[in-house]
C-alpha cells in the first residue's frame, strides 16, 4: 500500500500532462479515509498539528524571530541598564535581574496580543475557513492556535534569557525550573492569544483589532509587576495588577528564574484558569469569523 510508482513527470508541472497511468491503482490511499481518532486524543493531536505548522513556517522564514528580538533587547539594554544605575525602583535584587523575567512575559504578550490579526488574515485568505470544515472541534482549533502562539513566545523567551545571561543576570539553569518557565510562557501566551482571537471574533476586521490591540497592550504591561514591584503601586493600580494575568506570569517567571519569593501554585492556577477561560471564549466566538 505504500509504493507510489515513480512515474516520470513532465518537465513543467503546469502543463496538463498526457500521463495516462490508471488512476485507480496509482492512489490507493486516496480511496480510504483515515480512521478517526477518538475522544481525548483529538485536542492534543490538533494542537500539535497547529504547532507543527507554526514551527515549519518559522523554519522557512526566520526574519520574524530576529526583528521580534529587537524590542526586548532594547528594554534590557537601555531601560534596564539606566534604571539599574539610578536606583529609582526599590527591588531586593539588582534591577536588571528583576526586569529580565518581566521582559520575557512582556515580549510574549506582545506576540500573542496581535495573534488575532493572523486569524483574521487566515479567515480572509480562506485558510481558516478550510480548517473549520475539517473534523476539528472549535476548541481544538483555538487551543492549537493558542499554543502555536506560545511556541513563538518560548523561542522569544530563549533569546531574552540568553541576552540576560550575557548581561550578567544570575539566572537559574535548573532544568526543572526552566521547564516551569516554558510552561508559564506557554500558558500566558495561550491566554493573551485567546483574548486577541476573542476580540477578533467580535470586531471581525484587522483595522479595528489593530486599534484595540494597541489600546490594551500598554495598560496590561504597565498595570502589571513587570517593571516595578506591586508594593510601590498606588492602590487602584494594585487592584488592576491583581486581576491582570500578566502579573501572575511575571511572578512565576521571577520565582523560577531568579528565585525571588513567589506564589507558584497560585500563579499557575490563575494562568491555567485564564488560558482555559480564554480558549472557551475564543472557541465560542470563532464561528462568527466563518460567516
Partner 1 sequence: MTAPLQPQPPKSIPESAPEVPEIPESVPEPEAAVRCRGLRYAFGTVTAVDGLDLSVAPGEVFGLLGPNGAGKTTTMRTITTLLPVPPGVIEVFGHDAARQRMAVRRLLGYVPQQLSADGGLTGRENVALFARVFDSPRRERADRVAQALEAVGLADVADRLVSTYSGGMVRRLELAQALVSAPRLMILDEPTVGLDPIARDSVWERINRIRAGTGMTVLVTTHSMEEADRRCDRVALMHRGRIRALGTPDELKGALVAHRREADGESAETAPPTLEDVFRHVAGSGLNGPGADEERGEFRDVRRTRSTASRVG
290 binds partner 1 per the rule CB under 8 A: yes
Residue 203 touches partner 1, criterion: CB under 8 A: no
Does position 175 interact with partner 1 (CB under 8 A)? The reply is: no
* Residue 205 lies near partner 1 (rule: CB under 8 A): no
Least distance from C-beta 108 to partner 1, angstroms? 21
For partner 1, the closer CB: 22 or 235: 22
**Distance of closest approach, residue 56 Cβ to partner 1, in angstroms:** 5
Of 52 and 269, which has the nearer Cβ to partner 1?
Answer: 52
Count the residues of the shown chain that bind partner 1, applying the rule CB under 8 A.
Answer: 53
Q: Interface with partner 1 includes 32 (CB under 8 A)? A: yes
Residue with smaller CB distance to partner 1, 36 or 235:
36
Neighbours of 158 (CB within 10 A): 17
Taking each continuous run of H as one helix and of E as one strand, the counts in the chain are 13, 0
Q: Output 14 or 175, the one with its CB closest to partner 1.
A: 14
We find the least distance from the C-beta atom of residue 64 to partner 1, in angstroms, to be 10
C-alpha cell at 143: 487551543
Positive or negative, the Cα torsion across 100, 105, 108, 113?
A: negative
Nearest CA to 217 among 233, 195, 197?
A: 195
Contact 276, 191 (CB under 8 A): no
Minimum gap (Å) between residue 118 Cβ and partner 1: 11
Interaction between residue 162 and partner 1 (CB under 8 A): no
Contacts of 138 (CB under 8 A, 6+ apart): 132, 283, 284, 286, 287
Can you say how many angstroms the Cα of residue 58 is from the centroid of all Cα atoms in its chain?
13
The answer to whether residue 90 forms part of the interface with partner 1 (CB under 8 A) is no
Spell out, one character per residue from 55 to 74, where the chain touches partner 1: x when CB under 8 A holds, - when not. Answer: -xx--xx-------------
Instruction: Check residue 4 for interaction with partner 1 (CB under 8 A).
Output: yes
**Can you tell me the distance from the alpha carbon of 178 to that of 161, in angstroms, rounded to the nearest whole number?**
10
Distance CA(281)–CA(199), nearest Å, equals 10
Interface residues for partner 1 in 111-140 (CB under 8 A)? 124-127, 129-137
Helix/strand/coil for 218: helix
Residue 15 found at the interface with partner 1 (CB under 8 A): yes
Sign of CA dihedral 28, 30, 33, 35: positive
Residue with cell 512575559: 105
Does residue 215 interact with partner 1 by CB under 8 A?
A: no
- Angle at CA of residue 195, ends 46 and 244, nearest 5°: 125
Residues in touch with partner 1 (CB under 8 A):
1-2, 4, 7, 9-10, 13-17, 19, 22-24, 26-37, 45-46, 48-49, 52-53, 56-57, 60-61, 124-127, 129-137, 287, 290-291
Amino acid at each position: 500500500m505504500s509504493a507510489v510508482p515513480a512515474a516520470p513527470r513532465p518537465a513543467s508541472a503546469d502543463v496538463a500532462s498526457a500521463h495516462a497511468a490508471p488512476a485507480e491503482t496509482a492512489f490507493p490511499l486516496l480511496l480510504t479515509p483515515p480512521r478517526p481518532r477518538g475522544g481525548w486524543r483529538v485536542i492534543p493531536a490538533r494542537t500539535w498539528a497547529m504547532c507543527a505548522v507554526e514551527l515549519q513556517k518559522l523554519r522557512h522564514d526566520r526574519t520574524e524571530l530576529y526583528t521580534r528580538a529587537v524590542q526586548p533587547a532594547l528594554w534590557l539594554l537601555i531601560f534596564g541598564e539606566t534604571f539599574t544605575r539610578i536606583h529609582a525602583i526599590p527591588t531586593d535584587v539588582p534591577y536588571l535581574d528583576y526586569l529580565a523575567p518581566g521582559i520575557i512575559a512582556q515580549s510574549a504578550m506582545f506576540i500573542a496580543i496581535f495573534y488575532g490579526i493572523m486569524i483574521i488574515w487566515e479567515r480572509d485568505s480562506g485558510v481558516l475557513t478550510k480548517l473549520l470544515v475539517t473534523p476539528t472541534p472549535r476548541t481544538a482549533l483555538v487551543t492549537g492556535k493558542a499554543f502555536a502562539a506560545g511556541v513563538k513566545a518560548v523561542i522569544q523567551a530563549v533569546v531574552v534569557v540568553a541576552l540576560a545571561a550575557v548581561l550578567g543576570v544570575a539566572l537559574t539553569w535548573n532544568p526543572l525550573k526552566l521547564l516551569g518557565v516554558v510552561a508559564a510562557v506557554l500558558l500566558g501566551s495561550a491566554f493573551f492569544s485567546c483574548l486577541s482571537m476573542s476580540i477578533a471574533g467580535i470586531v471581525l476586521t484587522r483595522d479595528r483589532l489593530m486599534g484595540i490591540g494597541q489600546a490594551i497592550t500598554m495598560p496590561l504591561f504597565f498595570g502589571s509587576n513587570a517593571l516595578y514591584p506591586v508594593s510601590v503601586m498606588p492602590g487602584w493600580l494594585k487592584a488592576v495588577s491583581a486581576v491582570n494575568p500578566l502579573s501572575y506570569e511575571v511572578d512565576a517567571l521571577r520565582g523560577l528564574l531568579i528565585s525571588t519569593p513567589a506564589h507558584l501554585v497560585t500563579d499557575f492556577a490563575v494562568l491555567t484558569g485564564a488560558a482555559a477561560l480564554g480558549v472557551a471564549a475564543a472557541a465560542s466566538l470563532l464561528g462568527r469569523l466563518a460567516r
